[in-house]
Amino acid sequence: MHHEPVMLNEVLELIKNFPHSKILDGTLGLGGYSEAMLEAFPECRVLGLDRDSQAIDLACERLKVFGERFSALQKNFGSLGDVPDVNSFDVYVFDLGVSNMQITTPERGFSFQSDGPLDMRMNPDDESSMTAREALQQLDERTLAKIFWDYGEERFSRQIAAAIKRYRKPLETTSDLVSLIRDTLPQPVQRKMGTHPARRIFQALRIFVNDEAGELEALMSALGEFSHEALMIFVSYHSLEDRLVKKTFREWHSDGLGKILTRRPVTPSDDEIARNYKARSGKLRAFFTTRH
């Protein structure tokens, strides 16, 4: 199980220049960022959050060598306000999206490249949230088309939504959905796509199932309440997320909450993209809140 941390050097470089004795890693994943921070800054303590209990277990095992300097909580960052002493950290880091562990575990249903149940919940213990299979079954055609367009920018959103609703039997597996998409999109379009024909639909469903937009909005409003000095770092992989982070930073700046540290987003170097193609869409933005 491995996840190559994205723009790790850039994250460490930023943190180095600010107070960093207490760091909150809001998207722990497999603990790549946390491990590097604990190694680079021997005096710091890190609290890791993740909504995925499997990620928490794997990261805790990996980071147990750091003893009491590291602790973890299973939590959605959208409920940041519930974290004890949440406004006492010097640094808050959020590396949004899914981890490679989640994508490459077929039973989690995130991958269009391997067969598994259509689940896609980042927290599979959360029985209150819909699985991708339930979403495809229960939502009407217009709602599905809107999800595919808004979260996947899929040009064929309406055709695919219509095909899903026409399908003779319930879609149970990732392979069922991939075959349906392949059967629906015209061959010349598929040849020209330059990416897997199901990629955008899978991304859109994942964002919907996990309410990723709602989580990020709730997180930004919780952070906007803080009135202490803190460094906030976001790495996002989707234009919707990056736009929301950029807009919120501008609002914070004009409300006098602090300063934007990245006038333009930082992006991975060519070397990093060559090493880790999945990093290519990463955008890093940072803000420093002053005491107010």
Q: Is 232 helix (H, G, I), strand (E, B) or coil?
A: strand
| Beta pairing, strands 70-74 & 45-50 | parallel
If one asks whether residue 30 binds ligand SAM (CB under 6 A), the answer comes out as yes
Rounded Cα distance, 34 and 14, in Å? 14
Between 258 and 268, whose beta carbon lies closer to ligand SAM? 268
DSSP 286: E
Between 53 and 190, whose beta carbon lies closer to ligand SAM? 53
When binding is defined by CB under 6 A, the residue of 63, 78, 180, 262 that contacts ligand SAM is 78
Which span (43-51, 127-135, 180-188, 253-261) binds ligand SAM, by CB under 6 A? Answer: 43-51
Which span (94-102, 145-153, 242-250, 274-282) binds ligand SAM, by CB under 6 A? Answer: 94-102
- For residues 82 and 90, the answer to whether their CB atoms sit within 8 Å is no
Rounded Cα distance, 249 and 115, in Å? 40
- For residues 37 and 103, the answer to whether their CB atoms sit within 8 Å is no
Between 86 and 180, whose beta carbon lies closer to ligand SAM? 86
Between 5 and 109, whose beta carbon lies closer to ligand SAM? 5
- For residues 190 and 197, the answer to whether their CB atoms sit within 8 Å is yes
Q: Which two tokens stand for residue 128?
A: 């209150």
If one asks whether residue 97 binds ligand SAM (CB under 6 A), the answer comes out as yes
Which span (27-35, 103-111, 196-204, 238-246) binds ligand SAM, by CB under 6 A? Answer: 27-35
Between 95 and 242, whose beta carbon lies closer to ligand SAM? 95
Rounded Cα distance, 167 and 93, in Å? 42
- Closest separation between CB of residue 268 and ligand SAM, Å? 13
Residue carrying structure tokens 């949230």: 129
- Closest separation between CB of residue 51 and ligand SAM, Å? 4
Between 37 and 185, whose beta carbon lies closer to ligand SAM? 37
- For residues 279 and 4, the answer to whether their CB atoms sit within 8 Å is yes
User: Which residues ranging from 207 to 226 are in contact with ligand SAM (CB under 6 A)?
Assistant: 215
- For residues 72 and 50, the answer to whether their CB atoms sit within 8 Å is yes
DSSP 131: P
Print burial letters for 257-268: b (CB count within 10 Å at least 16), e (below 16). Answer: bbeebbeebbbb
**Greatest pairwise CA separation for the chain in angstroms:** 60
When binding is defined by CB under 6 A, the residue of 7, 10, 20, 50 that contacts ligand SAM is 50
- For residues 229 and 19, the answer to whether their CB atoms sit within 8 Å is yes
DSSP β-bridge partners for residue 3: none
If one asks whether residue 124 binds ligand SAM (CB under 6 A), the answer comes out as no
If one asks whether residue 31 binds ligand SAM (CB under 6 A), the answer comes out as yes
If one asks whether residue 147 binds ligand SAM (CB under 6 A), the answer comes out as no
If one asks whether residue 92 binds ligand SAM (CB under 6 A), the answer comes out as no
When binding is defined by CB under 6 A, the residue of 45, 70, 99, 185 that contacts ligand SAM is 99
Between 33 and 156, whose beta carbon lies closer to ligand SAM? 33
When binding is defined by CB under 6 A, the residue of 10, 95, 154, 241 that contacts ligand SAM is 95
Residues that bind ligand SAM (CB under 6 A): 3, 5, 27, 29-33, 49-52, 55, 76-78, 95, 97-99, 122, 215
